C-alpha cells in the first residue's frame, strides 16, 4: 500500500501527517463545540431553574414557590388561601408567629420521601416557610451521603431525618452537630428520645401482620403463635436483619418483654433454629410484606406498622397484631458543618410541637414524640399509633445502645446462620 521509493514515501507520509492534523483539528474543534454546548446548556438550565425558583422535589405549585425572595411573608399568606395543599392550622402553632425572621434564606432538609414527604411538606415545611420566610428545599435522606458530605466538608443539608440507631451512630462518629436544646424545647417530649446529636421524630413499630382471610376469627396472638408451626398454620415471612427478630425469638421462648435486654443471643438463635426452614420469605424492603400478604403468598409476616395500616385502609385483607410488637423511633439530625444550623434547630423544634406531631399522626399512623399531641387526637386515630399509651403497653422498646454495641458480631452470626 505504501510507496517503495523513499521520496514518494516521505511525500506520502507528509500527506498522511497533514491529513491527521486536519482530522485532529476537526476533532478538537468538535470537542470544543461539544464542551461549549454542554456548558452553555448547563448555564441555560441553571438560569431557567433560577427563574422558576423551583425546589427539586416540589412537584406542584406549593408554597415553596410563593414564598420566594421577592414575595414577603404577608404576600405568601394571601397565596395560601387558594392553595388547598397547605395546612392552614399549622400556621397557628404555639410559640410561632408570622414574623418572617428568616426572610431571604434557604435551607435544604431531607426525609425518607414518598407519602411521608408530602405530609411533612403540608404540615411542617410549608407552614414553617410561611411563618419564618425561609425557603425549604427537599431532598432524600441517605446516611452514606450525609457522611460523605461531612467528610468532604461540603455539607448541603441543614436538617436530615435518619433512622434511630443510624442517627445516634452518626453522632457517635462525629458526623453531627450537637442539638441545641435551648431552641428545641424538651418539655413534654416522650422520655429517652433526646440523644445529644439526634432527637426522635416519630415512633414506628415492627409488628405481626396477618391475612384476615386466613385468620378470620382467631388471629395469631403473639410470637408464641408465630413459632407454633403445628397449631397456627400458614406461610411465614421475617425481615432479613437480626433486629428485631432476636427480640421476637426471646419473647417466643418465654422471656418477659421487660427483661429482654441485654439480649440472650445464644438462646435467641437456638429459638430461631426451630422455624428457620419454615420461613418462606426473608423480606428486605418495607413494601414487600403488605404485598406478600395481600397476594396470599404469605399468611403471617413481620411488617412495619404504617405500611400495613395503609394497605388495610386501601381495602386489602390485612391486619396488625400489636401485641408484643417492637417499637422504635426515627430521628432528626443536623450534619456537622451544616449551613444555617440555627434555622435547622428551629425547624426541628417546630416539627416536634404537639400540634404538628398530632397532625402528622392523623395523616400517617406513626406515633407522636410529644405527649401533648395525644390531646389533639381522636380514639380511632390513637388505635393505630405505636406510641399511644394503650398500644405502648402491649409492646416493648428497642434498646438502641445494645444494638450499637453488638450489631456487628450479631449481624455476622445472623448472616452465617442464614447460609448454613
Pairing assessment for the beta strands 279-283 and 135-140 based on DSSP bridges: unpaired
Comparing CA positions, the residue from 307, 306, 311 lying closest to residue 295 is 311
How far is C-alpha 371 from the chain's CA centre? 22
Which CB sits closer to another protein, 313 or 412? Answer: 412
Which CB sits closer to another protein, 186 or 276? Answer: 276
Q: Contact 65/51 with Cβ under 8 angstroms?
A: no
Rounded-to-integer distance, Cα 372 and Cα 88, Å:
20
Q: Which three cell numbers stand for residue 62?
A: 406549593
Q: Kindly state the smallest distance separating residue 169's Cβ from another protein, in Å.
A: 6
Rounded-to-integer distance, Cα 331 and Cα 340, Å:
19
Which CB sits closer to another protein, 265 or 280? Answer: 280
Q: Which residues are at the interface with another protein (CB under 8 A)? A: 2, 4, 6, 9-10, 13-14, 16-17, 20-21, 24, 27, 142-144, 147, 166, 169-170, 173, 235, 240, 276, 279-282, 284-285, 288, 295-297, 407-408, 411-413, 415-416, 418-420
Q: Kindly state the smallest distance separating residue 17's Cβ from another protein, in Å.
A: 6
Q: Kindly state the smallest distance separating residue 186's Cβ from another protein, in Å.
A: 26
Which CB sits closer to another protein, 259 or 285? Answer: 285
* CA angle, residues 55, 59, 65, in degrees to nearest 5: 50
In the numeric block, the cell 416519630 is attached to 202
Q: Kindly state the smallest distance separating residue 268's Cβ from another protein, in Å.
A: 17
Q: Kindly state the smallest distance separating residue 399's Cβ from another protein, in Å.
A: 17
Which CB sits closer to another protein, 68 or 143? Answer: 143
Rounded-to-integer distance, Cα 255 and Cα 205, Å:
19
Q: Kindly state the smallest distance separating residue 311's Cβ from another protein, in Å.
A: 16
3-state secondary structure of 159: strand
In the numeric block, the cell 400540634 is attached to 355
Q: Kindly state the smallest distance separating residue 148's Cβ from another protein, in Å.
A: 9
**Residue 251 half-sphere exposure toward CB, CA atoms < 13 A:** 22
Q: Contact 378/396 with Cβ under 8 angstroms?
A: no
Q: 159 pairs with which residues across the strands?
A: 109
Amino acid at each position: 500500500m505504501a510507496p517503495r521509493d523513499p521520496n514518494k514515501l516521505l511525500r506520502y507520509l507528509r500527506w498522511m501527517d497533514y491529513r491527521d492534523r486536519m482530522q485532529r483539528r476537526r476533532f478538537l474543534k468538535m470537542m470544543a463545540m461539544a464542551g461549549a454546548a454542554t456548558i452553555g446548556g448547563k448555564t441555560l438550565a441553571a438560569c431557567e431553574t433560577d427563574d422558576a425558583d423551583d425546589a427539586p422535589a416540589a412537584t406542584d405549585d406549593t408554597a415553596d414557590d410563593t414564598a420566594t425572595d421577592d414575595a414577603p411573608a404577608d404576600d405568601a399568606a394571601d397565596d395560601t388561601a387558594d392553595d388547598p395543599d397547605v395546612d392552614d392550622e399549622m400556621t397557628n402553632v404555639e410559640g410561632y408567629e408570622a414574623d418572617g425572621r428568616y426572610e431571604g434564606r434557604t435551607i435544604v432538609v431531607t426525609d425518607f420521601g414518598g407519602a411521608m414527604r408530602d405530609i411533612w411538606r403540608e404540615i411542617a415545611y410549608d407552614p414553617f416557610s410561611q411563618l419564618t420566610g425561609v425557603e425549604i428545599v427537599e431532598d432524600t435522606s441517605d446516611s452514606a451521603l450525609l457522611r460523605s458530605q461531612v467528610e468532604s466538608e461540603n455539607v448541603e443539608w441543614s436538617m436530615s431525618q435518619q433512622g434511630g440507631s443510624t442517627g445516634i451512630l452518626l453522632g457517635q462518629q462525629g458526623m453531627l452537630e450537637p442539638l441545641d436544646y435551648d431552641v428545641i424545647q424538651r418539655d413534654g417530649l416522650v422520655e429517652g428520645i433526646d440523644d445529644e446529636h439526634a432527637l426522635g421524630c416519630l415512633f414506628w413499630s415492627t409488628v405481626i401482620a396477618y391475612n384476615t382471610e386466613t385468620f378470620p376469627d382467631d388471629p395469631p396472638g403473639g410470637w408464641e403463635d408465630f413459632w407454633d408451626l403445628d397449631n397456627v398454620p400458614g406461610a411465614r415471612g421475617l425481615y432479613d436483619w437480626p433486629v428485631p427478630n432476636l427480640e421476637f425469638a426471646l419473647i417466643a421462648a418465654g422471656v418477659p418483654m421487660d427483661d429482654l435486654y441485654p439480649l440472650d443471643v445464644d438462646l435467641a438463635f437456638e429459638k430461631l433454629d426451630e422455624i428457620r426452614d419454615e420461613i418462606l420469605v426473608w423480606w428486605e424492603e418495607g413494601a414487600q410484606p403488605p404485598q406478600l400478604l395481600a397476594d396470599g403468598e404469605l399468611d403471617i409476616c413481620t411488617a412495619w406498622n404504617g405500611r400495613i395500616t395503609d394497605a388495610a385502609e386501601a381495602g386489602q385483607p390485612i391486619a396488625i397484631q400489636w401485641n408484643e410488637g417492637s417499637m422504635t423511633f426515627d430521628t432528626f439530625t443536623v450534619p456537622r458543618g451544616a449551613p444555617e444550623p440555627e434555622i435547622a434547630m428551629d425547624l426541628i423544634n417546630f416539627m416536634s410541637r404537639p400540634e404538628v406531631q398530632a397532625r402528622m399522626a392523623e395523616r400517617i399512623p406513626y406515633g407522636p414524640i410529644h405527649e401533648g399531641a395525644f390531646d389533639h387526637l381522636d380514639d380511632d386515630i390513637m388505635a393505630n399509633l405505636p406510641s399511644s399509651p394503650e398500644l405502648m403497653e402491649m409492646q416493648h422498646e428497642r434498646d438502641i445502645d445494645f444494638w450499637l454495641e453488638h450489631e456487628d458480631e450479631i449481624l455476622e452470626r445472623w448472616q452465617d446462620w442464614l447460609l448454613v
